[in-house]
Structure 1
Amino acid sequence: MNYLQLMGFGPDGWGYDMLAATGMTVAVAVCGFLTGAVLGCLGAAAALSRFRALRAVAETYTTVLRGIPDLLVIYLFYFGSSSVISAAAALFGAQGFVGAPAFLTGALAIGVVSGAYQTQVFRGAVLALPKGEIEAARAYGMPSFLMFRRIILPQAARFAIPGVGNVWQLVLKESALISVIGLVELMRQAQIGAGSTRQPFSFYLTAAALYLLITFVSGRGFRLAEERAMRGIRRPV
């Protein structure tokens, strides 16, 4: 069977399976990225807080999650949550191991890891703001929430876009690790197809091309967002 037939949409082709797995990859990456964005905002707020305890929590979070291998985090989330579910099921008479939902635990694991990186991105974006504008708002007596909404948030988002784009690329690559807990995403589907047809090169080459396509499209989207956000802003030559 040639490559076009193998990756086609006929009765013997794997085209539909690979596209469905690509959709699963995008879905788990988006969920993990959005979860990380929420955690990143909270982490950045804690890191910039005037309270030492909150700063210590943020520092511990970012240090630990960036220091532990991502695959280990996924294993800890999956087997840890599965142990809790199994223990709860045993209270109702169930026996044996009850696995946690692979999509949910995988997205949460990726989100927690990406949140550590997004914490630093958002923190750096806030610190990059011109201090004169914030001091002027305080001198004017602007309430903290109004100052955050009108001054800090719009400009911090502008400075954060490049770093957030890099975190997205990291999340997309991390999504391939979720195959170890049974989620049939792009990498796992390529492994299944390679084992079934004994043509690993064709499947892994297709998977690589699909990953590059997602990366190209999303990267282009982030570049357009950055260009739009920086309109009217003088950049250093």
Structure 2
Amino acid sequence: MSRPARRVPASTPVYRVALVSGANRGLGFEVASQLSERGMTVLLGARDLDKGLHAARKLASAPGEVIAVQLDVTRQEQVDTLARWIEVTYGRLDVLVNNAGGYYDHDALASDGDLTRALGAMQTHLYGSWRLTSAMLPLMRRHGYGRIVNVSSGCAASASNDRHCVAYRTSKSALNAYTRTLAAELEGSGITVNAVCPGWVATDLGGAGGRPVSVGAAGVVWAASLPAPAPTGRFFRDGKQIAW
């Protein structure tokens, strides 16, 4: 982590602490920036801590504090270490954005028997989000408040029949199923779980030609900041519900 652990005194006013995975660049970085603009303390998760520190320095003048933390969602020991650190340092986590991703296999075929990309996509998008959420939920349950946002994609909707991006599409569809199931389990707890499609945004992953990353990130930040009573178990794009 980028700083020694500290315990927040009980008298400290309530504020929001957010964790964004895959946040050293692209959509995740913009989400971290916009959450910080709302005054949240943002933990900027990055597999490479040096890249995370570099990204956090870019946001040094933001209203909310931005702190780089090392986080590879495919490694249980890193997830567990981070959960313990957040508990000791802040005693709470209010917002979790499961954004870590990749494996945009545009030209791969569903008939291809090489499952390397498919396994990688599932490990990151589904199991990584599942692992991280499970570790952070106790920090939300103790205060009866949480906003969990799973960054998904419109190509994962059941009505989408395109042949492209089979590993990416399948893993995001699985993430959607996890979102609905967890939301049903947490109904009435004060913790919402929603999926958000940011649309095609111009990032290293999405490539050139997409809409500004700030626009895609705004929909994620909207879901991460929903006031109570808030919808849960929904799929959104730009603050509007879309079909699963």
Answer whether TM exceeds 0.5 for this pair: no
Give me the TM-score of the superposition, normalised by structure 2. 0.25
The structure number with the bigger radius of gyration is 1
Structure having the higher helix fraction is 1
